[in-house]
Structure 1
Amino acid sequence: MQTKRTDLPAGFSLYLDAVRFAAAAMVAVAHLLMLRLIDDRLAPYVPDLGREAVIVFFVLSGFVIKYSVDQKHASLQDYVVARCARIYSAALPVLVAAFAIVALVLNFSDVAVKTAYQVAKAYVYFPFHLLFAGEFWNLAESPPWLLPYWSLGYEVWYYVLFGIAYYLTGARRLILLACVLLLVGFKLWMLLPIWLSGVWLYEWSKSHSVSPGWASAGWLVSLAALCAFKLVDADVYLRALGSAIWPFPGLRLVSADRYLADYVVCALVLVNFACARSLRFAWLRALHRPVRALAGYTFTLYLVHFLVLMAWKSFYPHNPANVADVALMLCAVGVVTYLTGFVTERRKGAFEKLFRGLYERASRAVVPAKA
């Protein structure tokens, strides 16, 4: 597959990295609010943009995946190895840590854990979560103390669907796409257009651009529109409306119950990214080093922060009104994220070698069978 190289503008690439880290931070802030770890008097003034941040991740994921395969002309093997290394370099160590920590909690403390049944049957639930099957059809299962893991049940299978559609051809492609779509279920179908919109945006941006004046205006308007969307509780209204008009009572929406609001946020993100691609972001370039450094810990922060917050809430007499307690808690999240990064995202190369070897072994096993 030969395609023309279309490198991203330096300012836009840096902007996407900044957005990536900011989105992970917004998810963490949303969970601070959910767990009531911030003073109730202050909480109404703290933006709760956790769900919107996940939609940003979905759009960004589709965009980056299409960019990656377009620029690197990757083979199916390259694609599979890169995606597995990216996901499992963070997901596997954090998943091991979560099961181990919660097992210790259950055995040596009286802290109640709602997902204790998963630890008791780790031989079932650990491989289950390694396959990211928690959002199939009517399921709604996240690993112990790893609530953010739910979105991987969408994103990983979108990687699978994209890989099949992009690299395979003919009847084999159609059959495998149909099988995977039937396997994952309706919730993933509903949010798939959001992920695919990122793919579309990358293709659109190769032949279209926005003039600098309009780009500046569009970028600002998209941000203002998102703020207004949240301030008037449009997301709350659309969530209720989506549930009210859902015609299949036997199919539980659960993590997809905000689908109407998600589509609106998706549209705003598309406008924002399309406009941002034409902006220079000179002010952001001055922060090149810290932005790139922080972006390297995005996935780890996204996964590990909830585990830290749950442990903190369970074992420390946290006072939400105490500034020192809140500051110490945030430091704990930062330190654990930084240290965990050394065995997750910083070790992605080792995971690439592992999965390349596994892929080659599987290929050698399949070829004789065909012969």
Structure 2
Amino acid sequence: MTRGFSLWLDAVRALAAFAVLFGHMAHVRFTGGDYYFLRDWNIASDAVVVFFVISGLVIAFAAERDGDLKTYSYNRATRIFTVIVPALFLTLIFDAIGTRITMDAYPLGYYQHLSWTEFLFRGLTLTPQWLGVMEPVRLGSNGPIWSLSYELAYYMIFGFAVFLSGARRLVLIALVAFLAGVPILALMPAWLLGVLVWRRVSSPDAASLSRPVAWTLAIGAPVAMVALKWAGVADALAALTARAFAPADYNTVLLYSDEVMWNSLLAVLMALHLIGVAPLMAASKWRESEGLAKAIRWLAGGSFSLYVMHYPTLQLLDASLPESLPLYDLWLLGITLAVCFGFAALFERPLKTYRRWLATLTRRPAAVPAE
């Protein structure tokens, strides 16, 4: 992967994380409806699809570098759990404080009380949305963790497909698919598009893409996303999905994948964008010493923390910040960012250090640092 393309992926990842934050801040209960157009545009949900495509690309790249299932699994697990474990415990603490201040800040549908044992079991196994043998749950106020249930299933299925063979591969893939359930599988094609992007941009044929075509894809795909959204295509596809599932309620069946048709189209456009960007950024003159590049890397380096910690932080602040506070929205945003990036400094950015410690404790060679 070229340095320029990697930097672009970091920029998109950071923008997607902020889109999720702003999309959730736009809820009426947080900011009074002043930014509700962001809810109407559903930018938070769309940003998660962008994450899925980038995730598929990065994991396909990392799998090639890891070389075997053991290293692949170690790198995926350490990347996720060094962040998710403290995030789960902080969610429990934040929710405990906030619900004691006022339950009005924790309305039905945005908060689910679970026993701490169920909370930790479903959280630490990343299965709040695995439906094969369990009911879906929301981990307190931390709704965004739903997407990690999806990611875990994709990581496992992809790892088994790449590194195993024969009956064992088929059985394990089928088992994960069954346990994950239909909603998670419905969005897996969007994730796999990222894998296909990596196969394309890393192949010898990638250089054959002409600059006019690359520019057309790089610019045209995002323009098409906005134009299609503006034209109401997302709503039309949702209506088509509703008719396809009638008389059943498609929202109940698909849960977080209820926009599967629009999400799939969005993923295709995102994949085309990245295919176009790759050769253009390979020829760019970015350098790690440049200020903008450093800023992008820094923001992207805290994007996972921003994603998993912003919602319980917003909920706690909604319960505790006085509404009469001058510049309330800025305080809400500023404190949330401070909490999330402070969390990143403690748990996300020191990943290599944690891997070295774990390697020392287990007396095994440190794995290749990877996403």
Same fold (TM over 0.5): yes
Q: Does 1:333 align with 2:332?
A: no
Query: 1:23-62 alignment to 2 at 5 Å?
Result: 23-38=16-31, 40-44=33-37, 48-62=42-56
Q: 1:290 aligns with which of 295, 307, 327?
A: 295
Count of aligned pairs between the two proteins: 349
- Segments of 5+ residues of structure 2 without an aligned counterpart are 365-371
Structure 1: gaps of 5 or more residues: 1-7, 362-371
1:249 Cα offset (Å)? 3.0
Distance 1:313 1:64, change over 3 A: same
Q: How does 1:1-371 map to 2 (within 5 A)?
A: 8-38=1-31, 40-44=33-37, 48-70=42-64, 72-107=65-100, 109-111=102-104, 113=106, 114=108, 115=111, 117-118=113-114, 121-137=115-131, 139-205=135-201, 206-209=203-206, 210-246=209-245, 249=248, 252-280=253-281, 282=284, 286=290, 287-318=292-323, 324-352=327-355
Secondary structure in 1 aligned to 2:49? helix
Identity of aligned residues (%): 26
| Normalised TM-score (structure 1) | 0.86
User: What is the one-letter code of the residue matched to 2:205?
Assistant: H
Which TM-score applies when normalising by structure 2?
A: 0.86
Task: Rate the CA distance shift 1:200–1:284 in 2: closer, same or farther, 3 A.
Answer: same
- Given that 1:89 and 1:347 are in contact with CA atoms closer than 8 Å, whether structure 2 keeps it comes out as no
Shift of 1:237: 2.1
Q: Larger deviation: 57-66 or 211-220?
A: 211-220
Query: CA separation in 2, counterparts of 1:264 and 1:172?
Result: 33
How far apart are 1:324 and its partner, in Å? 1.7
Tell me if the contact between 1:81 and 1:359 (Cα under 8 Å) persists in the aligned partners.
Answer: no
Q: 1-side partners of 2:93 and 2:34: how far apart?
A: 36
Structure 1: distance between partners of 2:140 and 2:44? 19
Which amino acid in the other structure matches residue 176 of structure 1? Answer: L
1:295 Cα offset (Å)? 0.9
Distance of 1:81 and 1:339 partners within structure 2? 25
1:20 is matched by which residue type in structure 2? Answer: R
Query: Does the 8 Å CA contact 2:102/2:319 hold for their aligned counterparts?
Result: no
1:196-234 CA distances to partner (integer Å, 9 max, x unpaired)? 111111112213332112211221111111111221222
CA distance in 2, matches of 1:174, 1:110: 47
**Structure 1 moving runs of 4+ over 6 Å:** 357-361
Measure, in 1, the Cα distance between the counterparts of 2:222 and 2:326: 30
Structure 1, 225-234 or 190-199: larger mean CA deviation: 225-234
Aligned-residue offset at 1:142: 2.2
SS at the partner of 2:349? helix
> What is the distance in 1 between the residues matched to 2:342 and 2:189?
36
